Amino acid sequence: MSTFISRRTLFIALPIVAVLAVAAYFTLRGKAVQGYVVQQSKLVQQVVATGRVAAKTRAQVGSEITAVVAQRHVDVGDHVARGDLLLTLRADDLAAQYTEAKASLELLEKVQRPEAAAKLAQAMSQLKQAQREVDRRRILSDARAVPTENFEQAVNALNAARAGADQARLEVESLAPGGRQESIVKARLDAARARLDKTLIKAEFDGVILERMVSRGDVVQAGKALLTLRRDRDVELRIPVDERNLAVLAVGQPAVALTDAYPQRPFNTHITLISPAIDSQRGTVEVRLSVDDPVPDFLRDDMTVTVTVQTGERDKALVIPNDALQSVSGSQATVLVAQGGRAQQKSVSLGLRSLALSEVTKGLAAGDVVIASGQVNTNQKVRVNTLPLPTTAGPNGARTNNELPVKFN
């Protein structure tokens, strides 16, 4: 009976002992964890954010006069060149003023000027006749053939003829080409033409019609916006970026942009303005970027666009994956390093950051093995299975190392 109990006890105890032995073996070896070897690598720090396409120059085209839209020559989406006719207005009073001024000039040239010339010729003829009469009567008066009064009457007639000739000469000079009367009439005509020209609404620059607020037959008032015109190829990107990224952004930094509509057609941009104010409601700062030449022809106002701004680069940086970082506070963090078979905590200083990797400027050396966070506690025995440094998709969709940002909105 005792022999049977001993064998049964042994049968039960052997598996337990085996399990304990295996557990002790792995305990002595440490917990298997994943980690990375600290090494040098090229590191690009970037900020990614999404915003909208906007026009730098968006002009509202209006009327300077009150008139009726006689004809509309463009519609939304049309491309126009500087000087192209956009709208034709009808203003009957201005047309009448122009017709009257034009008729006044024709009257001067075809009637008043010839009449003045004829009057001058007649006055000169009368002056010559008066002069001859004075000369004849002087002779007769000297010979006492006529009374002195007759000679005096002839002199008075000569003076009157001379005044008449002077008056006719002044009128001819006034009506002559380039003279005072012609200048006045032409100025009136130019003013009437300028007012009438305001019925022809033309494009001031090359661009695209964004909005149309009137149709044929509408009555428009002076100062009322009729069309909205965006300057051709003069677009920018307006991107709200998380204010935490403000310290790494600077005017002039290059960026690659992608639109949701054309994700396979990236284009180059650069920062031209960082707003001096923060949106307190959203915690963002507006960043504006200009599109480098050639400007893509598919860009539209308010189109959604995502930009990747390059804010820093190191050809040889000592890097670790971001999933090895713990207790990150600004440029300081802690990591667990595998030393002597145990996980040891170390403080590190950080430099450039990307979505996948971070630069370590202090606290680690090349060849150190860091443990991915969340697997073990400090001083716990570990066995590290090292993994390669992570890679991720770059801004153009190609597989590149470390080329997306840590912080984005």
Mark whether 259 and 376 lie in a shared domain: yes
Structure tokens at 219: 């009555």
Mark whether 327 and 311 lie in a shared domain: yes
Mark whether 103 and 221 lie in a shared domain: no
**Contact present, 27 and 381 (Cβ < 8 Å):** yes
Give the alpha-carbon dihedral of 377, 380, 385, 387, to 10 degrees: 30
Question: Of 213, 230, 247, which residue is a domain's last?
Answer: 230
Residue 253 resides in a domain: yes
Q: DSSP assignment of 64-89, as one string?
A: SS-EEEEEE---TT-EE-TT-EEEEE
Q: How many domains does the chain have?
A: 3
Mark whether 205 and 111 lie in a shared domain: no
Mark whether 185 and 283 lie in a shared domain: no
Which residue segment(s) compose the domain that 78 sits in? 59-89+199-230
Mark whether 47 and 116 lie in a shared domain: no
Mark whether 225 and 298 lie in a shared domain: no
Q: DSSP assignment of 133-176, as one string?
A: HHHHHHHHHHTTSS-HHHHHHHHHHHHHHHHHHHHHHHHHHHHS
Mark whether 263 and 359 lie in a shared domain: yes
Mark whether 164 and 225 lie in a shared domain: no
Mark whether 241 and 325 lie in a shared domain: yes
Residue 63 resides in a domain: yes
Mark whether 382 and 280 lie in a shared domain: yes
Beta bridge partners of 316: none
Query: In a structure prediction context, what are the per-residue pLDDT tens digits for the chain, which is 409 residues long?
Result: 555 455 555 555 545 544 444 444 444 567 888 889 998 888 888 899 999 998 887 788 988 888 889 999 999 888 898 899 999 888 888 878 888 888 887 877 777 778 778 887 888 888 888 788 778 878 776 677 767 777 778 778 878 888 887 887 887 777 778 778 778 878 888 888 888 888 888 998 888 888 899 999 899 888 888 998 888 777 899 999 999 889 889 999 999 999 999 999 999 999 999 999 999 999 999 999 999 988 888 888 889 999 999 888 888 889 999 988 988 888 899 999 988 889 899 999 998 888 788 899 999 999 899 998 888 888 899 888 888 888 644 443 333 333 333 333 3
Structure tokens at 241: 């970026």
CA distance 38 to 389: 9
> Any idea what the CATH number is for the domain that residue 69 is in?
2.40.50.100
Rounded to two decimals, what is the model's pTM?
0.55
Structure tokens at 164: 């008449």
**Interhelix angle for 113-142 vs 148-175, to 10°?**
160
Residue 104 resides in a domain: yes
Mark whether 137 and 192 lie in a shared domain: yes
> Any idea what the CATH number is for the domain that residue 290 is in?
2.40.30.170
Instruction: Enumerate residues 6+ apart whose C-beta is below 8 A from 136.
Output: 154
CA distance 354 to 375: 23
Residue 17 resides in a domain: no
